[in-house]
Amino acid sequence: AAITFGSVTAAGNTVVTAVSANQLQPLPSGYTLPAGTPIYEVTTSAVVSGGITVTLRVPNVADATACSRLRIMHFTNNAWSASNNAVPSYDSATGICTVSQTVTNLSSLAEFLQASGTSSVFAVAQINVSNFNVGGQVVYGNTPTGQAAKSVSGVNLNAGASTAPATTAGNGTYQLTGLSSAGSHTVTPSKSGDVNGINSTDAVRIQQYLVGSVAFSPNQLAAADTSNNGAVGSTDAVRIQQYLVQAQTNHIVGQWKFTPSSKNYSSLSANLTAENYAAILMGEVTGNWTPPSSGADALFAGDEESAKLIAPGENNQPAQPKNNLDEKTAEPGVAVPAAVTVTLPSNAAAGGGTTVTIPVNVSQLPALTDSNRVETYNFNVRFDPNILSNPTASATGTISGEPNSSLIFNSPQPGVFSVSYTNTTGITGQGALLNLQFTVVGAANQKTDLTFVGTNTSPAPFELNEGDPAVTTSTGQFTVTGPTAANVSIGGRVLTESGRGVRNVVLTLTDASGNVRTATSSAFGYYRFENVAAGENYIITATAKRFSFSQPTRVVSAGSDLGEVNFIAY
């Protein structure tokens, strides 16, 4: 059933009569009767079942804001009620505000009528407008269990046109002021910047989650969905590696999300002080995000040539390789663990137009049984693109050439090469961690430094896991050699004592000037170095993780092609 009155006369067996406003005062706290607004007494002889909707069309309302403050009040059981009001609608052409209220669960006429059993009373009331504040705190949602909560500063909370936005302070708190009690307000948080803690370890954790070796909290699952499709899969791990080497943009790695994504407030009646949010940095799965320190916003400012990529050092000079051992402070009586040393050769050389292999060498990595076994690394190398070009990377024949691994690399700008590597079961050993390959485009005798640097997506120049174990690095150098009178080849086989070929043995060729080249034995144990300068002495060294050698180092004189420089493995 429905009754409409105001500018419309009720029909049928219903009679609408205006009564004196002061007969039924007072209204509930927070409501008043607008001047000149009548109270209507509705008398009906019909039994109403299933509820009734009463609609009032109030003329001469000033605007939509004034309309939004109107409510129908129902007087029954000697009390006023404003429940079950629909959102008022305003007709700007006529100035009419239409307000309605539904009275539900009416099983008998007596429930609708007053105590007299003959009528029910309705009025149009106005909400008294007050202004209230909404505040709370934003914390990092992916902080590991047992660690102290991390506040998130710089979060913008916007309530639309209702009031000016608020920004969280250093302790993550915010306050929106002057929100009208008459309106509806939707508060939405957003944030940019302060991105850190994303590295290859986050990618490997996703891979481990997918095979069931680790569990994720709900917020970890949210952070891991870097492809933004509502599920976690192998693609999400790849997106993190692509972000680190700046290889693709169809992801949301490094963006901020919030739980909840927004909050709605209607008919505020008091200040709210605990409207909190959890901030989630997409791609930062392990929870090692660090709140920014004061004044540290412009990490990559100052280097004109690489302002968008390379972190500068003092006086706008390129950043020096970082020793993240400096960040580890031992407790009294506890020794700081030794750092892993990562080196690039200081005397790499090759002739113009050739392809040169430059190994990234490491000292002993932790054992696979250690708590800080190496599962991931990411690094960036800077070089002169006028001397070396077309960088690639290969794990074949190196420590990284193990199953369960993923290697992604990219040159995000000329002269910078970025690498991301993961292995779900870990790697160990020492020697060649990875081989870098370049095309030599420089002229004879030109040189370029090979330097580990940070980028805006991978700030640490070289990082194992998430900084544990620590790393120290050194700068290498490459020289373009001049033409030689003749070149020869040096090769042979790696064999067991029974004469079976041994694969994946790394052979290192070092000349008298200290220049180093590497090769890897084939499936049948064969290896070869081509374009070796004739008439010089060379040192050849064989290394393998699973074998020892009766004579691991050989010295040869390359007067002509050598094809029988063999090594016996046992």
The predicted structure's pLDDT at residue 302 = 31
Q: Give the model confidence (pLDDT) of 550-566 as tens digits.
A: 889 988 888 788 999 99
The CB density around residue 134, as the number of other CB atoms within 10 Å, is 25
SS (H, E, C) 111-140: HHCCCCCCEEEEEEEEECCCEEEEEEEEEE
Q: What is the CA radius of gyration of the chain?
A: 37
Of all residues in the chain, the percent with pLDDT exceeding 70 is: 77
| Average pLDDT value for the chain | 79
Q: What number is the average pLDDT over the span 49-65?
A: 73
| DSSP-derived 3-state class of residue 445 | coil
pLDDT category of residue 41 using cuts at 50, 70 and 90: low
Contact (CB, 8 A) for 534 and 559? yes
| Distance (Å, whole) CA 152 – CA 408 | 31
- For residue 535, pLDDT over 90 is answered with no
And the tokens for 1? 């059933």
> Would the pLDDT of 285 be above 90?
yes
CA-wise closest residue to 111 among 55, 47, 53: 47
pLDDT band at 52, cuts 50/70/90?
A: low
**Token code pair at residue 306:** 């690489």
What is the C-alpha separation between 83 and 69, in angstroms, rounded? 14
Q: What is the 8-class DSSP label of residue 549?
A: B
Query: Looking at residue 454, what is its pLDDT?
Result: 87
- Tens of pLDDT along 299-327? 333 333 333 343 333 333 333 333 443 34
More confident position, 282 or 110: 282
Residue 262 in this model has a pLDDT that exceeds 90: yes
Asked whether the beta carbons of 511 and 347 are under 8 A apart, the reply is no
550 within 8 A of 532, measured Cβ to Cβ: no
pLDDT confidence tier of residue 118, bands split at 50, 70 and 90 = very low
Task: Tell me if 567 sits within 8 A of 495, measured CB to CB.
Answer: yes
The pLDDT-based confidence of 511 (bands split at 50, 70, 90) is: confident
More confident residue, 188 or 212: 188
**Range 409-424 average pLDDT:** 90
- pLDDT value of position 135: 95
What is the total residue count of the chain? 570
Contact status, residue 223 vs residue 199, Cβ threshold 8 Å: no
Looking up tokens 């002057």 gives 178
- For 313, residues 6+ apart whose C-beta sits below 8 A from its C-beta are 319, 320
Q: Do the Cβ atoms of 264 and 289 come closer than 8 Å?
A: no
Q: What is the pLDDT of residue 303?
A: 35
Q: Per-residue pLDDT for 174 more than 50?
A: yes
- Tell me the per-residue pLDDT of 4-22, one tens digit each, with 9 for 90 and over: 434 333 333 333 444 444 4
Query: Quick one: pLDDT at residue 26?
Result: 65
pTM of the model: 0.57
Q: What is the pLDDT of residue 19?
A: 43
